[in-house]
């Protein structure tokens, strides 16, 4: 599973990245997690409002800092596909 966090590196984006990493660790999920900082790059995914989470090339959340429970639900949904 490849998870991208999209955003310029603001506090909201860093918080989102930490939540994603913490949830993956809790779930013992070996995901490839990285952060896209370049506006032009994350615009290619259709992200206009950050922070955003992209899983396996699909934008699954945009425009808010998710709760750990929200991230867990999203990740489990994609992990079980």
- Angle formed at CA 33 by CA 16 and CA 29, multiple of 5 degrees: 100
The residues facing 36 across adjacent strands are 6
- The residue annotated as part of the active site, out of 13, 31, 53, 55, is 13
Indicate if 10 belongs to the active site. Answer: yes
The residues facing 18 across adjacent strands are none
Please give the backbone phi and psi of residue 8, each rounded to the nearest 5 degrees, phi first: -75, -5
- The residue annotated as part of the active site, out of 2, 9, 10, 46, is 10
Indicate if 24 belongs to the active site. Answer: no
**Residue pair 44/6 in contact by the 8 Å Cβ criterion:** no
Q: Which residues are catalytic?
A: 10, 13
């Amino acid at each position: 599973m490849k998870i991208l966090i999209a955003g310029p590196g603001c506090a909201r984006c860093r918080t989102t990245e930490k939540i994603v990493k913490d949830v993956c660790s809790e779930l013992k999920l070996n995901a490839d997690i990285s952060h896209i900082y370049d506006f032009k790059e994350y615009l290619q995914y259709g992200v206009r409002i950050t922070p955003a989470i992209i899983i396996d090339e699909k934008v699954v959340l945009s425009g808010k800092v998710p709760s750990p429970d929200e991230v867990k639900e999203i990740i489990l949904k994609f992990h079980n596909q």
